[in-house]
Structure 1
Amino acid sequence: MMVLILAVVLIPLLGATINGLFCWFTKRKAHLIAVPAIAIPAICSLVLLGKVLHGEHFDQVLYWWIPLGDLRVPIGFLLDELSAVMITTVSFVATWIHVYSIGYMDHETPRGYAKYFCYLNLFVFFMLTLCLANNFLLMFVGWEGVGLCSYLLIGYWYEKASAANAGMKAFIVNRIGDFGFMVGLFLIYKHLGTLLFSQAFAQAEHLSVGMATLITLLLFTGATGKSAQIPLYVWLPDAMEGPTPVSSLIHAATMVTAGVYMVARTHAFFNMAPLSMEVVASIGVATALMAATMALVNNDLKRILAYSTVSQLGYMVVGVGGGVYAAGIFHLFTHAFFKGLMFLTAGSVMHALHGELNLQKMGGLIRKMPITGWTFVVGALAIAGIPPLAGFWSKDEILAGAFMGGHKIIWAVGTFTAFLTAFYMFRLIFLTFFGEPRERHLYEHAHESPPVMTIPLIVLAVGSALAGLLALAPHGGIAGFLNRTLGEAHGAVHHEGSVVYVLMAVSVAMGVAGVALAYFMYMRRVPDPVALAANFRPIYTLLYNKYYVDEIYFALIVNPVVGGSRHVLWKFVDVVIIDGAVNGTGRLCRLVGSGLRYLQTGYIPDYAWMILVGAVVIYWIGRLF
Structure 2
Amino acid sequence: MLLVALVGLPTVAGAVLLLARPPRGATAAGVGTAAVTLAVAVAAAVTRPASDVALLAGVRAGFAVDGLSAVLGVLVAAVLLAALVVGAAEADLRTGRFHGLMLLFAGAMLATVTATTLPPLLMAWEVMGATSWALIGYRIDDRAAARAGTVAFLTTRTADLGLYVAAGALLAGGAGAMALTDLAVLDGGWLHVAVAGVVAAALGKSAQLPFSFWLSGAMRGPSPTSALLHSATMVAAGGYLLLRTAPALDAAGWAAPLVAWVGVATALLLGLVAAVQDDLKQLLAASTCSQIGFIVLAAGTVATPAGALQTVAHGAAKSLLFLVAGLWLAALGTRSLSDGLRGAARRHPAIGVAFTVGALSLAGLPPLGLWVGKDAVLAAALDASPALYVVGLAAGWTSALYSGRALWFVWRPIAPGGATTAGDRTGTPAHAGGDRAGTPVPAVATVGGLAVAAALAGLLALGPEPLRPDPAPHAWELVLSAVLAGAGLLVAWRFAERFPVPRPLVRWLGLEDLAHRTLVRPVLALAAVLARLDDRGLARVPSGVAHAAVALARRTDTDGERAVDRTVAGIADGARALGRVARRPQTGQLHQYYAQASVGFALLTVLAVLVMS
Q: TM-score, normalised by structure 2?
A: 0.86
SS of residue matched to 2:64: strand
| Structure 1 match to 2:589 | none
Alignment-derived partner of residue 512 in structure 2: 550
Q: 1:255 to 1:84 in 2, by over 3 A?
A: same
Aligned residue runs from structure 1 range 59-458, under 5 A: 59-61=50-52, 63-67=53-57, 72-104=58-90, 106-107=91-92, 113-197=95-179, 200=182, 204-205=184-185, 207-208=187-188, 211-357=190-336, 359-403=338-382, 405-436=383-414, 438-442=418-422, 444-446=429-431, 447-448=434-435, 449-458=439-448
Cα offset for 1:550?
Answer: 1.8
Post-superposition CA distance 1:532-558 (Å, at most 9, x none): 63xxxxx72232233222222111111
After superposition, the Cα gap between the structure-2 partners of 1:590 and 1:411, relative to the gap in structure 1 and judged at 3 Å, is same
* Aligned partners of 1:396 and 1:507 also within 8 Å: yes
Query: Which AA in structure 2 matches 1:261?
Result: Y
Query: Are the counterparts in 2 of residues 34 and 121 from structure 1 also a CA contact under 8 Å?
Result: yes
Partner of 2:587: none
The alpha-carbon distance between structure 1 residues 482 and 362, as it changes in their structure 2 partners (threshold 3 A), is closer
Cα RMSD (Å)? 2.4
Give the direction of change, closer, same or farther, for the CA distance of 1:79–1:422 in structure 2 (3 Å limit): same
Q: Is the 8 A contact 1:301 1:359 kept in 2?
A: no
Alpha-carbon distance in structure 2 between the residues aligned to 1:586 and 1:300: 60
Are the equivalent residues in 2 in contact too, given 1:137–1:195 (CA < 8 A)? no
- Tell me which of 492, 501, 506 is aligned to 2:475: 501
CA distance in 1, matches of 2:384, 2:24: 56
Tell me the distance in 1 between the aligned counterparts of 2:257 and 2:26: 47
TM-fit CA distance, 1:593: 2.3
**Paired residues of 2:343 and 2:413 also in contact (CA < 8 A):** yes
Counterpart residue type for residue 596 of structure 1:
T
Once residues 603 and 91 of structure 1 are traced to their aligned partners in structure 2, the CA distance between those partners, rounded to angstroms, is: 82
1:481 is aligned to 466
Residue-by-residue CA offset, 1:272-324 (whole Å, 9 max, x unaligned): 12321100100000111110111121111101000000000101111111121
- How much does 1:189 deviate? 2.1
Distance verdict in 2 for CA 1:31–1:119, change over 3 Å: same
> Relative to 1, partners in 2 of residues 1:441 and 1:464: Cα closer, same or farther, differing over 3 Å?
closer
- CA distances 1:371-391 after superposition (whole Å, capped 9, x unpaired): 221111000011111111111
Q: 1:434 and 1:16 mapped to 2: Cα distance?
A: 42
Distance 1:602 1:542 in 2: 80
Correspondence for 2:588: none
Contact 1:192-1:200 at 8 Å conserved across structures: no
Q: What secondary structure does 1:192 align onto?
A: coil
AA in 2 matched with 1:38: A
Q: Indicate the SS of the match to 1:271.
A: helix
Q: How does 1:43-54 map to 2 (within 5 A)?
A: 43-51=39-47
SS of match in other structure, 2:342:
coil
Give 1:41's match in structure 2, choosing from 37, 41, 45.
37
**SS state of the match for residue 272, structure 1?**
helix
Shift of 1:268: 2.9
C-alpha separation between the residues in 1 aligned to 2:108 and 2:5? 14
Residue 459 of structure 1, aligned match among 449, 458, 462: 449
Aligned to 2:11: 13
Letter of the aligned partner of 1:232 in structure 2? Answer: F
Q: CA deviation at 1:269?
A: 1.4
**Taking structure 1 as reference, are residues 191 and 247 closer, same or farther at Cα in structure 2, changes over 3 Å only?**
same
Deviation at 1:84, TM superposition (A): 0.8
Residue of structure 1 equivalent to 2:526:
564
Letter in 2 for 1:469: L
Q: 1:578 to 1:64 in 2, by over 3 A?
A: farther
Q: How does the TM-score come out when normalised to structure 1?
A: 0.85
Aligned partners of 1:14 and 1:37 also within 8 Å: no
Distance (Å, rounded) in 1 between the aligned partners of 2:524 and 2:232 = 34
- Counterpart of 1:622 in structure 2 is none
Matched, 1:605 2:566: yes
In structure 1, distance between residues paired with 2:466 and 2:244? 15
Secondary structure at 2:116's aligned position in 1?
Answer: coil
Paired letter, 1:207? D
Aligned-pair identity in percent equals 28
Distance 1:75 1:206, change over 3 A: closer
Give me the whole-angstrom Cα distance separating, in 1, the residues matched to 2:368 and 2:330. Answer: 27
Is the 8 Å Cα contact of residues 332 and 421 (structure 2) preserved in structure 1? Answer: no
Report which of the two structures shows the higher radius of gyration computed on alpha carbons. Answer: 2
Report the Cα offset of residue 160 of structure 1: 1.9
Instruction: Measure how far apart 1:401 and its partner are.
Output: 1.4
Deviations 1:27-48 (A, max 9, x none): 2311222222221121011122
Provide the rounded CA distance (Å) in 1 between the counterparts of 2:282 and 2:531.
36
Return the offset for 1:99: 1.2
Three-state SS of the structure 2 residue aligned to 1:103 is coil
SS in 1 for 2:25: helix
1:64 counterpart letter in structure 2: A
8 Å contact from structure 1 (residues 253, 336) kept in 2: yes
C-alpha change, 1:107 and 1:406, in structure 2 (3 Å) is closer
**8 Å Cα contact 2:246/2:300 also seen in 1:** no
Contact 2:368 2:456 in 1 (8 A): yes
- Distance in 1 (CA, whole Å) between partners of 2:338 and 2:538 is 53
Q: Which amino acid aligns with 1:172?
A: L
Shift of 1:605: 3.0
Does the 8 Å contact 1:146/1:254 carry over to 2? no
Size of the alignment, in residue pairs? 559
Paired residues of 1:102 and 1:452 also in contact (CA < 8 A) = no
1:491 corresponds to: none
SS, match of residue 298 in structure 1: coil
| Alpha-carbon displacement from aligned partner over 1:148-203 (angstroms, at most 9, x marks no partner) | 111111111232221111111111111221112211221122213223437626xx
Q: 1:571 to 1:49 in 2, by over 3 A?
A: same
Choose from 587, 592, 602 the match for 2:552: 592
- For 1:520 and 1:396, the matched residues in 2 are separated by 26
Q: Would you say the 8 A contact 2:372–2:458 is kept in 1? A: yes
CA contact (8 A) 2:118 2:180 kept: no
Question: Unaligned regions of 5+ residues in structure 1, if any?
Answer: 52-56, 489-493, 523-527, 534-538, 612-625
| Secondary structure of 2:302's aligned partner | coil
Q: Structure 2 CA distance, aligned partners of 1:439 and 1:583?
A: 66
Q: Is the 8 A contact 1:240 1:306 kept in 2?
A: yes
Question: 2 CA distance for matches of 1:610 and 1:136?
Answer: 77
Whether the 8 Å contact between 1:94 and 1:253 is mirrored in structure 2 is: no
**Contact map agreement 2:45 2:65 (CA 8 A) in 1:** no
- Cα deviations by residue, 1:127-159 (Å, 9 ceiling, x for unpaired): 001111121111111111111111111111232
Q: How far apart are the structure 2 equivalents of 1:516 and 1:564?
A: 52
Tell me the amino acid that sits aligned with residue 146 of structure 2.
A
1:32 correspondence with 2:23:
no
Report the alpha carbon displacement of residue 583 of structure 1 after superposing the two structures with TM.
4.6
| Alpha-carbon distance in structure 2 between the residues aligned to 1:107 and 1:166 | 20
Structure 1 Cα separation of the partners of residues 180 and 283 of structure 2: 40
